[in-house]
Structure 1
Amino acid sequence: MNDTFIDSGPQFSEAFNHDLELLLKWRRDVRHFKQDSIDRETLDELLRLTDLSPSVGNSQPWRFIEVSLPENREAVYLNFQKANAEALEGYKGAQAESYASLKLQGLTDAPVQFAVFCELEPKQGSGLGRKTMPETLAYSCVSAINCLWLAARAKGIGVGWVSILDPESIGPLFGAPDNWKLVAYLCVGYPVENNELPELHRTGWQARTATETRMLKDIDLVRLSAKQEPSSCQSK
């Protein structure tokens, strides 16, 4: 008789699973923030939950810099304006007008802002799991950001990811080491409004598409490839 005790961990209820699905559905990339501040205790709790994220080799390569100095925020905003103007030049006609109408940042009103860096060669983890795929360090940082996103939304707090920046010029603003790579600049605060649909969907820029277009099976890809290959007669 095997008396070995196996800890199965916590059992999550149907109600919890329902709420988890709601959380995933209602997580939004927020651009419009209220001016209300987030108390320090709540912010520290969010960062603690963020740090529970998985990482390659348990390396925990994420480095969150809280940006509070006005001159640093202004420098980031100017960086965004330049990068955004350059991005706009890549669109023409109606699409350019649509792009120009989008609010793509919350830099001017988000009460809390983070520059998130990835340490490229952390001693922690001793290199496990990343020799052939070093990019898993950055992926680990993205996982941590997603943990923050969900934990914040569960508390009614929004997060917006600003990616229209020149990453090479952001690090020097904060004196970041050369082996830290910018992964994200995050705006955090209470959203002006909540909506189940992404803002880009609502504005007509890009709607969500069917799940099955992204969830594939290897056997289907093999069949598709075989259909696309020219027959022996056609190749002569």
Structure 2
Amino acid sequence: MQSAAPGQQAHHHFDDAERAAVYRNILARRDVRGQFLPDPVADDMLARILTAAHFAPSVGFMQPWSFVLVRDQAVKRRVHDAFTLANTEAAQMFEGKQREVYSGLRLQGILEAPINLCVTCDRDRAGPVVIGRTHIKAMDLYSSVCAVQNLWLAARAEGLGVGWVSIFRQSAIREILSLPERIMPVAYLCIGHVSHFLDQPELQSAGWRQRLPLEDLVHFDHWGGENEDAAALRQALQAAQQDASRGIPPR
């Protein structure tokens, strides 16, 4: 690729169709719970989404993730039992109408999804001192979550559904999957082909929460700060979010 001439801007952006596809993927991603099909996921497709996860950014290039692939129904049943116990406990933490709504939500597809995948973090992988983690020790965990997001978006591009199950005690997952002490379970994912993707996030459709206005979440120079550029950007944010709510990629 030729360098830009002095005074000219280098063009590193994707073309319009490629850019629209990236945004469409982000907007169409859903947390899948109840739409899994029993069809197996081909190894080449699984390899592609795992490769996408492995190419996630990581602080200090530590690449702290590993992937525990679960297809065995007996293991899935133990995980499901751990979920059921924790979900019963969780329901009691809500009151009134919220408890009623919570009890009607489908929050996992552990037994139905052909693949369960535990994304883990090896907190010792890069040694005791890591570039970028010298003062914020959780950066390895944050890096592992980047791998989850990469995998999720790659899976959506493949037409696969992904559901993140987080309602169980980490100690239970650690025991079921025989994780060493230094290995932290970060995300337990259900993966598979689906009958359909929902138009909206399930919790939004159920009335649990609505998407917050993005323009209310942006601050300028300091928390609560405003400046002369604020009004114009907030207007652009409103327009972009209105498009996104209709599944239209930003223009």
Give TM class, smaller chain.
0.7 to 0.9
Spell out, residue by residue over 1:39-71, the C-alpha distance to the aligned partner (whole angstroms, 9 max, x if none): 111111111121110100000001110012222
Of 149, 158, 161, which residue of structure 2 is paired with 1:158?
A: 161
Give me the whole-angstrom Cα distance separating, in 2, the residues matched to 1:169 and 1:195: 31
Spell out, residue by residue over 1:121-147, the C-alpha distance to the aligned partner (whole angstroms, 9 max, x if none): 112795111121111101101000000
Runs of 4+ in structure 1 over 4 Å off: 5-11
Map 1:57-206 → 2, pairs under 5 A: 57-123=60-126, 127-206=130-209
Give me the whole-angstrom Cα distance separating, in 1, the residues matched to 2:186 and 2:222: 35
Q: Residue 166 of structure 2 contacts residue 187 of structure 2 at CA under 8 Å; is this kept in 1?
A: yes
Give me the whole-angstrom Cα distance separating, in 1, the residues matched to 2:114 and 2:225: 51
Give me the whole-angstrom Cα distance separating, in 1, the residues matched to 2:89 and 2:62: 36
Of 23, 26, 37, which residue of structure 2 is paired with 1:24?
A: 26
Contiguous gaps of at least 5 residues in structure 2: 5-9, 227-251
Pick which of 44-53 and 168-177 moved more: 168-177
Spell out, residue by residue over 1:109-163, the C-alpha distance to the aligned partner (whole angstroms, 9 max, x if none): 0011111111111127951111211111011010000000000000111110001
Pick which of 11-20 and 59-68 moved more: 11-20
Give me the whole-angstrom Cα distance separating, in 1, the residues matched to 2:128 and 2:144: 14
**Who is 2:215 aligned against?**
212
Give me the whole-angstrom Cα distance separating, in 1, the residues matched to 2:185 and 2:155: 21
**Alignment CA distance shift 1:179-1:125 (3 Å):** closer
Q: Residue 219 of structure 2 contacts residue 225 of structure 2 at CA under 8 Å; is this kept in 1?
A: no
**Alignment CA distance shift 1:64-1:9 (3 Å):** farther
**Alignment CA distance shift 1:80-1:220 (3 Å):** closer
**Alignment CA distance shift 1:113-1:9 (3 Å):** farther
Give me the whole-angstrom Cα distance separating, in 1, the residues matched to 2:39 and 2:142: 32
Of 14, 17, 20, which residue of structure 2 is paired with 1:15?
A: 17
Give me the whole-angstrom Cα distance separating, in 2, the residues matched to 1:76 and 1:18: 38
Of 27, 46, 49, which residue of structure 2 is paired with 1:46?
A: 49
Pick which of 155-164 and 13-22 moved more: 13-22
Give me the whole-angstrom Cα distance separating, in 2, the residues matched to 1:124 and 1:153: 34
The offset of 1:198, in angstroms, is 0.5
Q: Residue 67 of structure 2 contacts residue 120 of structure 2 at CA under 8 Å; is this kept in 1?
A: yes
Give me the whole-angstrom Cα distance separating, in 2, the residues matched to 1:99 and 1:12: 42
**Alignment CA distance shift 1:106-1:14 (3 Å):** same
Spell out, residue by residue over 1:171-207, the C-alpha distance to the aligned partner (whole angstroms, 9 max, x if none): 1222211101111100001122212311111111111
Give me the whole-angstrom Cα distance separating, in 2, the residues matched to 1:152 and 1:220: 36
Give me the whole-angstrom Cα distance separating, in 2, the residues matched to 1:139 and 1:108: 28
Aligned residues with identical type, % of pairs: 34
- The TM-score with structure 1 as length reference comes to 0.87
- What RMSD, in angstroms, separates the aligned Cα atoms of the two structures? 2.1
**Alignment CA distance shift 1:9-1:121 (3 Å):** farther
Provide the secondary structure at the position in 2 that maps to 1:218.
coil
Code of the aligned partner of 1:45: R
Give me the whole-angstrom Cα distance separating, in 1, the residues matched to 2:11 and 2:71: 40
| Paired positions, count | 220
Give me the whole-angstrom Cα distance separating, in 2, the residues matched to 1:222 and 1:192: 46
Contiguous gaps of at least 5 residues in structure 1: 224-236
**Alignment CA distance shift 1:124-1:154 (3 Å):** farther
Provide the secondary structure at the position in 1 that maps to 2:204.
helix
